[in-house]
Structure 1
Amino acid sequence: MQIVGINIGPAAAPSGLPLVRVVFEGEGGESVAVEMARGEHADGALGAIDRAKALLVQTATFEMPVNGNDVSDGSAERDDIHSGESSIYTFEYRDGDQARQVPPAEMPSFEAARAEAIRCAIDMLVDLEPGADDLTGWLLRVRDQAGNELCAIDVAEAQAARQANENTPL
């Protein structure tokens, strides 16, 4: 989804708890809303946006229950589909000459974390401008819980993965 707008405003949980809603609007009319408790983003609007992005990354890698129960109302029992092999990973994004980390996310395996990093790096290619941005070096790094770098996805690898995805029939 190509983001064309972001809106931030108040919301309320069914319990009445005040929330902050961040809505990412796409160019095709689609949108994604993230609601979070107030106070989780001490840095104002930019902090709320960063936290919402982190929650989306975590949600995108979340596996659903395998018992077939409807979880739409939040009352269904949940089966744990992880075999205890999941780990905590931190994604570090290149932002110009700086790096930004999103809050750590639990992933079922390093392979899943690396696949997510590649997908995110492909999305980052859209924002790079030849001649204006440095198209060399890393775009995204994956770190383990101790902060050790496990892999780095560079521009060339992201471009190759995008090309491979475009050539894969649906």
Structure 2
Amino acid sequence: MQIVRTDVSRTTASTGEPVLRVLFCGEGGDCVTVDMASIEAGNDDAALDRARAILVQTATFGLAANDYEARSNGNFDEIAITTASDGNEGVYIFEYRDGEGSRQVPLSRMPSFDAAREEAIRCAIDLLVDLEPGTDALTGWLVRVRDERGELLCAIDVEEAEAARQLRQ
């Protein structure tokens, strides 16, 4: 979907809780809404970055879209580039630790390397919640960021993610 408009608003969920809502509208009238339960102080650009990350994670982790994807090893034939910015950004590949292996998500456009690294830290913090002592390795990398050629730019490990999580609380 080619994004033609985005809206960021603060609203109330049906449960009565405040949510931050990001609406992505595409050509042809298709729209996707992302509601984020925890409203953090920040600007609309930060909300857009977080909403894009949620969409990428939702689209990448979970159920396969078809039988081919279910049988695939994660190397799909189609690569989609997503964006909701002015085109002056860089292209990054996010790689997430998945048990003993890893998963790469489709290319993402981010405003800068700093924005990509910050997104990697936010995602690593989210992954910390899923780690189980005694079952999962509580060391090593959680999220890696690569450039469009596949060159490693940074890796966020468990220790860095935990330190960032504690700092943000």
Which of 102, 105, 110 is 1:102 aligned to?
105
Letter of the structure 2 residue corresponding to residue 138 of structure 1: W
Give 2:157's aligned residue.
154
Distance 1:45 1:148, change over 3 A: closer
Match of 1:136? 139
Secondary structure at the aligned position of 2:149 is classed as coil
| Structure 1 unmatched ranges of 5 or more | 1-12, 64-79
CA distance in 2, matches of 1:134, 1:147: 25
Question: Relative to 1, partners in 2 of residues 1:89 and 1:15: Cα closer, same or farther, differing over 3 Å?
Answer: closer
Against the structure 1 CA distance between its residues 43 and 89, is the aligned structure 2 distance closer, same or farther, given a 3 Å change threshold? farther
Structure 1 residues 33 and 90: CA distance shift in structure 2, 3 A: closer
1:87 aligned onto 2:96: no
Unaligned runs of 5+ in 2: 1-25, 39-53
Deviation at 1:33, TM superposition (A): 8.6
- For 1:136 and 1:24, the matched residues in 2 are separated by 31
Which structure features the higher share of helix residues? 2
TM-aligned CA deviation for residue 93 of structure 1: 0.3
Letter of the 2:118 partner, please give it.
A
SS state of the match for residue 91, structure 2?
Answer: strand
Residue 150 of structure 2 aligns to a residue whose secondary structure is coil
Partner of 1:70: none
Work out the number of aligned pairs and report it.
Answer: 115
TM-score by length of 2: 0.54
Correspondences of 1:59-98 after superposition (within 5 Å): 62-63=84-85, 80=86, 84=88, 86-98=89-101
Larger radius of gyration: 1
Using a 3 Å threshold, how does the CA distance of structure 1 residues 127 and 26 change in structure 2: closer, same or farther? farther
Moved segments of 4+, more than 3 Å: 13-17, 23-28, 40-47
Question: AA paired with 1:113?
Answer: A
Identity across matched positions, percent: 53
